[in-house]
A and B are shown apart, each in its own frame.
Chain A
Amino acid sequence: MSSILEVTGLNKSYGDFSLSDVSFTLEEDCITGFIGINGAGKTTTIRTILGLVTRASGTIKFFGKDMNKYEQELKDRIGIVLDDGGFYDELSMAEMTSIISPAYSRWSEQDYKTFMERFSLNPRQKIATLSKGMRMKYSLTLALSHQADLLIMDEPTSGLDPLIRSQLMEILKDYMKQGGKGVFFSTHITSDLDKVADMLILINNGRILFEEEKDILIDTHRLVKGDIKDLTDETRNLFLNIQETEFGFSGITNQLSKVQKNLHDILIERATIEDIMLGYIEKETKNNVITSR
């Protein structure tokens, strides 16, 4: 399996926010979810790898080629959906498309028409009058109409209703069926990823906390519930995070066998991606508080 995107040692500072040594790899045939809370660095990372903002250090390779040297050629092969879209409000979609389409060497008018119809978009409608969902659909139409090998999307699902979100997930799966493609999208709505993601990358405070196969994450983590009285300093350490009420605790662990050995009378359930994500973020936050003391 070859890699579609390799990011190594990315650094970038903005005032008091910085990306620190961000490295990850996207492999062919995988849908990768880029998760994290607001302000974690998702958008900055995406903008940096696309060369929309300058970086302090780091290398970015798409399809094995350096982004610095082959930017033009590489961008031709990437479909991009960004939060703001970067469209001219006063134009109609047809007019906007006629500005954008010549930039792509493999533009397909056929694909464009198919998606416009599928999304029930009227080409003559002005961009200023599009709803948020329609804007995203238009943006996605453009990204899907030039036979891109990789789709990079920044929060494509935020602000969309569940029906459109599930349609989008189906479209991504269809796209992957061609083989040899890749999808990378950021989201803080992790339920979108339950059905479609192959890989997950978690970013927090500008740092990558994990890069792992989704199914393995789900297999190796558990949500444990039990009596607070059974918790000791030692057993607490087996958890990423623990929530306590007077009726009991619940926590996420990646050391299930040790938990089972040391705690009895517990309930063990599968954790969702969201549970696991919050577990790692809370653990990180707690560690930071301790080290800064």
Chain B
Amino acid sequence: MKILISNISDKPLYQQIKDQIKDAIFKGEIGEGDPLPSIRNFAHDLKVSVLTIRRVYDELEEERFITSQVGIGTFVSTGNLELIRDSKRHLVEQVMLELIQTAKTLRITKEELNEMMNILYEEDGQ
């Protein structure tokens, strides 16, 4: 799992770390049931406070990405991933619906909209 922390980003530290762990889970770099580093080791390696890693783990657990077992460790949740992916998909669909409605009121055709989407998708794609 690759985690890079930017000192010039506006994102808070814990958010940067949390997002990258989520990415790694979605991309399958760490699989279901895989262990995550201990809070202390993780904090040490990333050179952040143990309190920051604790917050990351707490939030990821709340969002059901990971589960902690007292005395044993922290693991990527099993079974929930598809659910989470589906809910993310649902989020995208909602935003798309909004987008389509706005486009309609502005009389933007489906073809134009697709074109815009293609261009923007590529631009952001690097």
Give chain A's interface residues, CB within 8 Å of chain B: 29-30, 173, 176-177, 179, 195, 197-199, 213-216, 218-219, 269-270
Contacts and interface: CB of A to CB of B under 8 A. Distances in A.
B7 A270 contact: yes
B44 A198 contact: no
A177 B48 CA distance: 15
Say what secondary structure dominates the interface of chain A. mixed
A195 B48 CA distance: 8
A216 B48 CA distance: 11
B49 A197 contact: yes
Interface residues of B, number: 13
23 contacts: A29-B40, A29-B50, A30-B50, A30-B51, A173-B44, A177-B40, A195-B47, A197-B49, A198-B51, A199-B49, A199-B51, A213-B51, A213-B52, A214-B49, A215-B12, A215-B14, A215-B51, A215-B52, A216-B12, A218-B13, A219-B12, A219-B13, A269-B8
Contacts, number: 34
The 3 closest A-B pairs by CB, nearest first: A198-B49, A219-B12, A215-B52
B35 to A, nearest CB: 17
A215 B13 contact: yes
Nearest to A213: B51
A177 B37 CA distance: 13
Contacts of A216: 12
A101 B7 CA distance: 46
Contacts of A218: 13
Contacts of B52: 213, 215
B14 A179 contact: no
A214 B12 CA distance: 12
A140 B47 CA distance: 24
Residue among B40, B47, B50 facing the most chain A CB atoms (10 A cut-off)? B50
Nearest to B40: A177
Nearest to B52: A215
Given A30-B50, A198-B49, A270-B8, 8 more contacts: A199-B51, A213-B49, A213-B52, A215-B51, A216-B12, A218-B13, A219-B12, A270-B7
Contact of B40 (A179, A213, A215, A219): A179
Interface in B32-78: 40, 44, 47-52
Interface in B84-102: none
Nearest to A219: B12
Interface centre among B12, B48, B49 (most CB of A within 10 A): B49
Contacts of B48: 215
A270 B11 CA distance: 12
Contacts of B47: 195
B111 to A, nearest CB: 38
A23 to B, nearest CB: 19
A30 B40 CA distance: 10
Contacts of B44: 173
